[in-house]
Amino acid sequence: MGYTFNMIRILAIMQNTWARDPDRVRAFLDRQHAKLNRHRGIYFLLFAGGSLTGKRIAEAFGDLADKMIYEEASPVVTGKASGCPPADLDHIEQCIDFHEPDIVLTFGKVATDAVEELGPRGYKHICAPHPASRQPDVREQLHLVASVVRNHISLELV
């Protein structure tokens, strides 16, 4: 897993993690957080565990999916997919300050609204639907957003 795409840092902010065994996942992420690797733990949960969210991101973003830094709008781990804790603005702000992204890519309304609430900063904010959304055109929308991200990267590198 890389951290930049030709020196462009992309911070992808998801809604939150859910798991059938939230205590176990919470402990895993806490261990990663202690090592300043929480984003790597989230990456692992998205792409190694076969989650629908991870599959759709990989499908739409291709090789770019491996180069993004993943975080969440809320560090709360829920026990069901429908669990939706409120965004933690302090947590998001700390993630942005720590990773210093050029692009903040938000997935879903919770993450998008939270980043917009923080106000304009020195990064490009790009919004995407939640990858596990049940909307019939979510895959198409994700592919369009991936194109927008790639176009922005191309413009930044010129």
| Residue 89 contacts residue 117 (beta carbons within 8 Å) | yes
The whole model's pTM is what?
0.87
Q: Which domains are seen in the chain, by residue range? A: 10-156 (3.40.470)
Q: What is the pLDDT of residues 114-136, one digit of tens each?
A: 999 998 889 999 999 999 999 99
At 139 the pLDDT is 97
- What does the pLDDT read at residue 4? 46
Positions of the chain with pLDDT under 50: 1-5
Q: Is 120 helix (H, G, I), strand (E, B) or coil?
A: coil
pLDDT of 36 = 64
